[in-house]
Amino acid sequence: MDGIDGIAASQALIVACAFALLARDPLSRWLSMALAAACLGFLPLNLVKARIFLGDVGSGALGYGIALAMTGSATGSDATSPSAWALLWLPREAFLLDALL
C-alpha cells in the first residue's frame, strides 16, 4: 500500500483519529492526535505527484505509533470486551486485508 500516493498516510490519519476518539486516558489521546497531526503534515507532500515517501523507516515508525495508540486506547474497564477490541481493529482493516490478499 506504500506504492499508492497518499494511501498509507491517509489511512494512518483515519486510524489515529479513531484511536483519539476511543482513547480512555489523556496521554493516549494526545499521542493519537500527535500521530494524526504528523500524518496531516506529511500528506500534502505525498499526494497526487508525490515528492516524498515514507519508505521502510517511515512506515515502521508509523506502525509503531499506531501500536502505541492502540495500546493506550485499550485501557479501562471495558478493554477486555470483544466489542472494544473489534472497534480498535476496525480502522486498520484496509492494511490487514491488503496484507492477507
**Structure confidence at residue 91 (pLDDT):** 67
Q: Which residues, 6 or more positions from 36, have their beta carbon under 8 angstroms from its beta carbon?
A: 13, 16, 17, 20
Q: All 3 cell numbers of residue 81?
A: 470486551
Q: What is the DSSP letter of 2?
A: T
Threshold 0.85, pTM exceeds: no
- From first to last of its 101 residues, the chain has per-residue pLDDT tens of 656 778 888 888 888 888 888 777 788 889 889 999 999 998 888 887 878 887 778 878 888 888 777 776 555 545 556 666 666 677 667 777 777 87
CA dist list (Å): 57 to 1, 53, 54: 15, 10, 7
